[in-house]
Amino acid sequence: FEEAYKVIQAMPEKPTAKTWGALLGACRNYGEVELAEIAAKELWKVEPENPANYVLLGKIYMSVGRQEEAERLRMEMKERGVKVSPGSSWYMFKD
């Protein structure tokens, strides 16, 4: 993961939200909390209103037993006015 982070830092152009989001998602899969925090902070600079970036870091915190930090993150979202919309899905039945 450190190597991936170094590659991102060395990119000639500014990394996009997709780049940081991919790293954040990979950090979730492997429990890389410190690097996840870095990726999330970079994402917040690019997409400060996207709740998915906060939620994913919160899930990472919860997965490693850091409930207090997850709660702090929820409070930070509230202070910044970032809201999570409830999800929905559709399923089509054929008769």
Dihedral over Cα of 73, 76, 82, 87: its sign: positive
Residue 58: per-residue pLDDT = 94
Q: What is the pTM of this model?
A: 0.81
Residue 92: per-residue pLDDT = 57
Domain ranges of the chain: 15-80
Residue 85: per-residue pLDDT = 78
pLDDT digits (tens, 9 = 90+) for 28-75: 998 899 999 999 999 999 999 999 999 999 999 999 999 999 999 999
Tell me: pLDDT of 89 over 70: no
| Calpha distance 64→81 (Å, rounded) | 26
The token pair at 82 is 């970032």
- Specify the length of the chain in residues: 95
Tell me: pLDDT of 88 over 70: no
